[in-house]
Amino acid sequence: MLKKYFMIFLVSMVPLIELRAAVPMAVGMDLDYWTSLVVCVIGNMLPVPFIYFFARKVLLWGRDKKFIGPFFTYCLEKGVHGSKRLTSKAGREGLFVALMLFVGIPLPGTGAWTGTLAASFLDMGIKSTTAAVSLGVVIAGTIMGLATKFGLHIFGL
């Protein structure tokens, strides 16, 4: 049992899939929903301070490297695009809510990693970023859990 929780904890830390894959995995493994949600949120939030303080620096360093450059450039462009999109939709005053909703919408590329990277480009501050991303992660995890349970119920699984 503990092994399954550890697995969803690790999956929730993986960029792009994050808890959007871990929560349905937990439902599929018949783990307790609320315990799984807490484990996935913690796993998804664990990288946030590292992303905020170091990701942009690492991406800027690696963007001109031969093998990793294209991927690092893609990630930089994704962060810049995300920060511009947030600012254009919400202005500087509404960035907290915009970041929370951006992370909370369970679509690929809108999770804690991208949201935190965008917030670091916007210099939102670690406290605001962590709070907004945390709330967004909880929203996304809840949506994914309900959608998975509802989908399984519809198909009689």
Q: What is the pLDDT of residue 155?
A: 55
| CB neighbourhood size of 16 (10 A) | 13
Q: How far apart are CA 104 and CA 99, in angstroms?
A: 8
The average pLDDT across 74-100 equals 82
Closest CA to 24 of 43, 14, 11: 11
Q: How far apart are CA 64 and CA 103, in angstroms?
A: 29
| CB neighbourhood size of 152 (10 A) | 13
Task: Supply the Cα-derived Rg of the chain in whole angstroms.
Answer: 16
Most confident stretch, 51-55, 86-90, 108-112: 51-55
pLDDT-derived band at 152 (thresholds 50, 70, 90) equals: low
Burial (CB < 10 A; 0-12, 13-18, 19+), residue 22, is buried
- pTM of this prediction? 0.83
